[in-house]
Amino acid sequence: MADKENKYPENAEGKFYVDDACIDCDACRATAPDNFEREDEKGYSYVSKQPDGEVEMQLCMDALEGCPVEAIGSDGDE
């Protein structure tokens, strides 16, 4: 389970975040490309934009559920 105490500073403020367990597998970027980006120099993903609307919300939830190392979190705040 992702730990919001260890989330990356690049994450956009809001409900979803990526923490330092990310292994840069590209799954979240492939699932929700409008919401996740790669930090190229350090090699990890982060939430570049919080979801806007039901479709993006579902894609972010799919990314969270599909993360192989559970590095994506949702703290319930929107």
- For the stretch 8-67, pLDDT in tens is 999 999 999 999 999 999 999 999 999 999 999 999 999 999 999 999 999 999 999 999
Range of the domain at 57: 4-74
For the chain, how many structural domains are there in total? 1
Whichever domain contains 40, its CATH number is 3.30.70.20
Residues in Cβ contact with 18 at an 8 Å cutoff, skipping those fewer than 6 apart: 2, 7, 8, 11, 28, 36, 44, 45, 46, 47, 71, 72, 73
CB of 70 closer than 8 Å to CB of 2: yes
Q: pTM of the prediction?
A: 0.94
Cα separation, 40 vs 54, whole angstroms: 29
